[in-house]
Amino acid sequence: MFRKICLRFAVYSLLFIVFGFLFLIVTPKQAAAQYRWTIDPPVWSGDVVYFHWDSPADSVTSVVIRDEDDPGKTIVWDSLTDDSPIGGAQDYGINKNAWNVGPGIPIDGNFSVMLVVWGTQQSNKMTFAVPVGSPGWTIEDPPTWSGSTVTFKWDNPANYAMALIIVDWDDPTHASVWDSGAESVSISGLTELSVDSNNWHLGPGIVPDGQFAVSLVAYGVSLMSNQLVFTVGGNATWNNPGAPPPPFDIMDVFQPAKRFGSFGQLASDVLLILVSLAGALAIIFIMLSGFKFVTSSGDEKKLASARATLTYAIIGIAVVILAFVIVQILQYFLQSSIPIT
């Protein structure tokens, strides 16, 4: 009976490995080329550069900046070793003057940034140039009104990643009531924008009144300007039926979905879990064979059964170890986990 069980275990393990190989070979790029995070082009405000990526970082994730003009690709900033953790964050701002480039060395030329976990690259490598005289932004106080339309002005042209956001300052959560990005209104290259307060999303029948605040934001999270607080009262005629419901996103209701960038990445992790379970079962069978040896009392049939159980268990462990090694080799050559060099 145990011999049949062990034989079936070895056969199923072998079939599992074969199907795993076929999956990795048939969909190499889908399973391999995906990184856990994608970094967007950085945005500068004065000497501060802001990086943004598509999902929250782990507690052991670090932002690594390298000098691409240096032949050795020297690391000039590592958020983890420089005591600036980013766990749970999707954006990160750092003053270039804090980079470790050495005394008297100008900070210019080409650099790159990536997200790293335990020394392994886990995002795309975003190369960027340090701008000369990068502007900051200041929104003029006060804004100007014309009927229900308010006009905001600032001192330097906005860049491609920026949006103008208005929040309800009287709301304890400072909820956003208007976002040029969400409204598909581009402010790239602009120094002013007019917004009709009738289009603010306060809810059905609610008149804009009281204090609000406006600011320029990059990627929806990084504050790029002053936050100008202004008062609304008697300026607008309200007729907005209310904000549309937000689109459904599975990542908002199922947190584990944020971990996987593709089906291939999910299948790769499941494959490793199954290999671990198979190894655990093999160890259990070895322990069972030892128990049978101890309780055989010299009975040849029991001894033969114990030897068969041990043999098949060892074969199972060998198959599991071989499967793990081959999966790691395939991942290396298919570049599913690229070490930093």
* 8 shares its domain with 65: no
Answer yes or no: is 38 within a domain: no
Q: Is residue 174 located within the same domain as residue 112?
A: no
Amino acid 185: pLDDT: 92
On whether both 73 and 125 belong to a single domain, the answer is yes
Residues 6+ apart with CB under 8 A from 331: 24, 32, 268, 337
pLDDT for the residue numbered 118: 86
* Residue-range definition of the domain harbouring residue 311: 2-32+261-333
Q: Are 137 and 130 in contact (CB under 8 A)?
A: no
Task: Name the domain boundary from 130, 158, 173.
Answer: 130
Is 0.85 surpassed by the pTM of this model? no
Q: Give yes or no: residues 166 and 234 share one domain.
A: yes
Q: Are residues 50 and 96 in the same domain?
A: yes
Look at residue 327 in the predicted model and tell me its pLDDT: 67
Confidence at residue 336, expressed as pLDDT on a 0 to 100 scale: 47
What pLDDT is recorded for position 48? Answer: 84
- For position 15, what pLDDT does the model report? 58
CATH of the domain at 99: 2.60.40
User: Residue 222 contacts by C-beta under 8 Å, 6 or more apart in sequence?
Assistant: 43, 50, 52, 91, 93
- Please choose, from the candidates 219, 148, 234, 158, the residue with its C-alpha nearest in 3D space to the C-alpha of residue 193: 158
| Shared-domain flag, residues 165 and 209 | yes
> What's residue 10's pLDDT?
58
Shared domain check, 50 and 28:
no
Residue 251 lies in a domain: no
Name, in order, each residue with C-beta under 8 angstroms of 98's C-beta and a sequence gap of 6 or more: 77, 82
Does any domain span residue 250?
no
What pLDDT score was predicted for residue 77? Answer: 92
Q: Are residues 170 and 86 in the same domain?
A: no
Q: Is residue 65 part of a domain?
A: yes
> Which of 218, 245, 272 lies at the terminal end of a domain, its last residue?
245
Distance CA 166, CA 170 (A): 12
Same domain for 240 and 269, yes or no, is: no
Domain C-terminal end among 90, 108, 130: 130
Q: Would residue 256 count as lying in a domain?
A: no
pLDDT in tens, the chain (341 residues): 555 665 565 555 655 665 555 555 444 444 444 788 999 998 887 788 889 998 899 888 999 999 998 888 889 999 888 778 888 888 888 888 888 887 777 888 899 999 999 888 999 999 998 877 666 789 998 899 998 899 999 988 888 788 999 999 988 888 899 999 889 999 988 999 999 988 899 888 788 888 999 999 887 667 788 889 998 875 444 344 444 455 555 555 555 555 555 555 656 667 677 777 877 887 888 888 888 878 877 788 878 888 888 888 888 778 777 776 776 676 665 554 443 33
Q: How many domains does the chain have?
A: 3
Q: Which CATH number is 221's domain given?
A: 2.60.40.10
Across the chain, the runs of DSSP E, i.e. the strands, are 43-45, 48-52, 61-67, 75-78, 91-95, 109-117, 120-121, 126-130, 144-146, 149-153, 162-168, 176-179, 192-196, 210-218, 222-223, 228-232
Q: Is 312 inside any structural domain? A: yes
Same domain, 71 and 18: no
Alpha-carbon distance 181 to 177, whole Å? Answer: 12
Query: Does any domain span residue 289?
Result: yes
DSSP-assigned letter for residue 338: P
